[in-house]
Structure 1
Amino acid sequence: MKIIDIGVPLDAAPYPPWNYRFKRVSHEEGARAMLRLFKGSDVGDYPESMALGWETITLTGHAGNHIDAPWHFGPLCEGKPARTIDQISLEWCYGDGVRLDFRHRQGEDISVEDLKGELARIEYTLKPLDIVLLWTGSDQYLDNVDDYVRRQAGLSVAGQNYILDQGVKLIGIDAIAMDVSFATMARGLREGQHDALFPAHFVGRKREHIHMEKLANLGAIPRPFNFKVSALPIKITGGSAGWVRPVAIVEDE
């Protein structure tokens, strides 16, 4: 069995509004800070006058790899209060993975025809609770926000609904967001479309499902299916999203 890291650090791509701040507390500072734990203690009571080090991190639930909960998309989902990240089913977050290669569609939208064509190419039929990973290749541009956004192959609303029609609950992408391409959104704004921005997110108000964003290294998975994906989100009470450490688990054939 091989476990393949398909994630990025929490501080990767900290573009607005998903900013990230990190403050290190050294071992020497830790010794002074921990004096309050034991009355009469002194920094010299710790080996080499050093206690424990730690860090203080300020970030959003959407930093690094994360899963968007239904509440992120809107207050209601399917006419009921939308579930937050601590309320979603964990069965959605571990299961059979399917990697679909759309690197040739960078900057464009993935249509139903594209999806059907890729599934036919790899000879696979989607089934309920599969975890679909969209391989756009844009993760190699993480350090350049302009290229990262421009090269994303977005998922069309029709394509998204096609995937959900197969019983899929979790869709992942190696891009900044699970949505149509930014080029499509920009064009829609210019043309005066009132629903141009992030339309695939708002599908989540009508159909309950979750998104996993900012994946990476999908090319390290040796085959397009016959592997597991584990992406269990951190339990944030009332959270619109939860950080994950996504991995692909590949067993020897």
Structure 2
Amino acid sequence: MALVDLSSPVDAKFWEPDPVVHQVLTPADGAKHMSAEMREHLGLEFDPNVLPDAEFLNNDTFTLTVHTGTHVDAPAHYGSKTTYGDGVPRTIDQMPLDWFCRPAFVLDLRDAGTQLVGADLLRRKLDDLNYVPRPLDIALLHTGAEQWLGTPEYFGKFTGLDGPAVELLLDLGIKVIGTDAFSLDAPFPYIIERYQATGDPGVLWPAHFLGRRREYCQIERLGNLEALPPSGFRLMCFPVKLTGAGAGWARAVADVP
């Protein structure tokens, strides 16, 4: 058994549309902070200099969105209402854990030659896989986008799925679709340009908006997919339990025999 890390890092040095802020509290500052907190909240005096090297514990504060780094999108991310169930989409803390520890397979889209893949190409990739997906399997899309990680190109150079392509996977019983790209949809500039050229609102984020009528989750910003075989492994990608959130960060790991 080998555990393969499929997570991209959260790094404040990376270029992000919403920049990451990383504030470090050093062990020396931690000692002073602890002393001040004891005084303010408990009325106790404590000299931090009596600690070894006058140090206590370090701490880190990150300011970032739930869509930074490898993360799982919940149905609540796609809109405030659904046409299935009771009409209220589930948030990330409400999703069943068994969706996120399942057999998985990889569809290699690096040779797609387009920023938007449809059902026909995806069906050919499935036919070439030599594996029959089962309900609740996790589908992973290898687009090659990781090569741009940390740069502005990461947000505009990748391949996404159109609505029928997502429907094809959901019809197989799949509930979780992952990608190494910034989004399961095509890049924002591609989508906007298509809409401006056609005036068709159906070209606007079809992969995400499909989640308003069919419940499923996306894993975005995966990494290291080239280390995986096409099938025959298990993926673990449990999202952080953020109450009421539309997404949660995840440490995605593959268990490869």
> TM class by shorter-chain length?
over 0.9
Matches of 1:93 and 1:66, distance apart in 2: 12
Aligned counterpart, 2:31:
31
CA drift at 1:32: 0.2
Distance 2:53 2:155 in 1: 48
TM-score (norm 2): 0.91
Q: What residue in structure 2 maps to residue 11 of structure 1?
A: 11
Residue 106 of structure 1 deviates from its aligned partner by 4.8
Q: d(CA) in 1 for partners of 2:108 and 2:28?
A: 49
State whether structure 2 residue 250 is matched by structure 1 residue 244. Answer: yes
Contact kept, 8 Å, 1:19 with 1:63, in 2: the verdict is no
Equivalence for 2:184: 178
Residue pairs, 1:99-248, within 5 angstroms = 99-146=106-153, 148-182=154-188, 184-191=190-197, 192-221=199-228, 223-248=229-254
The answer (yes or no) to whether the contact 1:106–1:136 under 8 Å persists in 2 is: no
Structure 2: how far apart are the matches of 1:144 and 1:238?
30
**For 1:143 and 1:57, how far apart are their aligned partners in 2?**
17
Match status 1:44 vs 2:53: no
Q: Distance in 2 between matches of 1:51 and 1:107?
A: 54
Matched letter for residue 31 of structure 1: A
Q: How large is the Cα RMSD of the aligned pairs?
A: 1.7
| CA deviations over 1:82-113 (Å, ceiling 9, x no partner) | 10000011111110010110001254222222
Helix, strand or coil at the partner of 1:104: coil
1:62, 1:149 → 2: CA distance?
A: 13
Deviations along 1:60-88, one digit per CA (max 9) or x if unpaired, are 11111111110010112225211000001
Q: What TM-score, normalized to structure 1?
A: 0.92
Q: Is the 8 A contact 1:11 1:63 kept in 2?
A: no
Report if the CA contact (8 A) 2:15-2:151 is conserved.
no
The alpha-carbon deviation at position 131 of structure 1 amounts to 0.5
User: Aligned with 2:122: secondary structure?
Assistant: helix
Secondary structure at the aligned position of 2:184 is classed as coil
Tell me by how many angstroms 1:248 deviates: 0.9
Aligned AA (1:74): G
Number of the residue aligned with 1:53 = 58
Q: Which runs of 5+ in 2 are unaligned?
A: none
Question: What is the distance in 2 between the residues matched to 1:115 and 1:107?
Answer: 12
Identify the residue that residue 74 of structure 2 maps to in structure 1: 69
2-side partners of 1:115 and 1:131: how far apart? 15
Q: Separation in 2 of the partners of 1:195 and 1:156?
A: 10
Q: In 1, distance between residues paired with 2:19 and 2:114? A: 24
The change in CA–CA distance for 1:11 and 1:183 in structure 2 (over 3 A counts) is: same
Identity of aligned residues (%): 35
The Cα of 1:183 is off from its aligned counterpart by 5.6
SS at match of 2:231: coil
Q: What is the CA–CA distance in structure 1 between the aligned matches of 2:189 and 2:47, rounded to whole Å?
A: 60
Does the 8 Å contact 2:92/2:241 carry over to 1? yes
Q: Match for 1:114: what amino acid? A: L
Question: Given the superposition, is the C-alpha separation of residues 196 and 160 from structure 1 closer, same or farther in structure 2, using an over 3 Å criterion?
Answer: same
